[in-house]
Chains A and B, each alone.
Chain A
């Protein structure tokens, strides 16, 4: 008789206990699988959200010198004027989409009878691509002509548009910023952005940097943004820009305080660490559940061995070796756990399917991402299940193999 058919017959008698044990394994498998998959998708969502700020974005801002240089004392304010954006754009091709950024400055804006106080930023056209601020249909981002002509045009973050216009179309309308009329040329397409250095882009009003400079009279930009063309040589690009700006403005290129830098790649690395930590944590919780289920399996296997002691005696009397008996119960334990595991994986994919149906446009749920049952997860879960099954089956099987046949035959 094969181990499987034997097991099935044996289990028929113990239906309730077996069902409960099986449910334990199914539940444990579901929890370890779903938790691992969620860990993975949250990690992915965080990375994607980070990219919402700009993929591989670096932001350079000025600061106060901490060392004397070239005859100047320390504590000198170093700021970068608007033209530095173009200088870098033209002079350092390995820094892609380099552009300067003014702001934010909080000002009153109005449309129709509605008045609000919002963050205004002045940007160059490259900003749109760099930060993935893409216009919704029927609109556009700030362009070169806007810059050259200091046009009074505005590109609205989608949340601002919502607050100001509600469902009404915004493009073509005239809003007032500090009572100066601006024409709305575009509205941002919604994007997942989970990090920012002041306000997320959907809450910003974008105007041309040249217009901003004129209107508010700022001499220095708040930062210069770029993306290294080749991520592998990102450090070298950073150094090139550092030397370039230092030479241009006359300060020590190695002065740590002037060089005020923000690099999303470093944040991405941090997110990776968090993601791995989270996955390990969730896996451990799932594995613990699985171990508890394994104890349940071991328990029912002990009962099974106990109940079938006379049969073990019979088998030994006709020539079963201890190894035959050991193998039989190990296989039975394995069959029980793997059956539960298979059901569990099936049910997990259903649970994950349901999770994917949750609309994640909501702010809080965005972190959830779209959890999926990956091959890696299936492999990890299956091997953990097999290990647990062998461990859970071993001790009952060893007890079965050490049964004294004479005792067992007297058992009834």
Chain B
């Protein structure tokens, strides 16, 4: 089995001029293809920081990161953008779908930045069907419930068929019922062989994944 994510002694220190805030202090992590991993840890422990590095939104201060066995440290901004577009799907705690676009347009958004020639609407509609929102395709986000918005966000994360889904507290803003629905969705994705790294505070949620890792004092415990 290939490793989708390989972190080797990754450090992240925020430099605030006078003071330096070390957040990650030598993180080692491997995630295999098809794995569903939960990431837990107290607030401020660096979970989001780690997700941002894995998601190529941020660069580590030190250490190596291999995505799909490929070094990404030396990549330039455009290459990183393309890698995000092709390999990573984000699901955020606060949904982060664009208010001015309707459901299918939000789902199709990553395809705008893809070099692959696709049929955005068709793909978006299929994915909305998959997350059970086919009837809501032309609804704007403010016409959708929190759970529906998050499902739109999940569909969007899938639109470029990524090799890794990064979900930072995807159920954090949802009540337990709708949270469960979204988790069902993740379960389904996992069963289809999609690799998932998910941050959560909820051990019940973490239990559903294959493996739970804890971050403590800047390291994987």
Question: Do A and B come from the same complex?
Answer: no
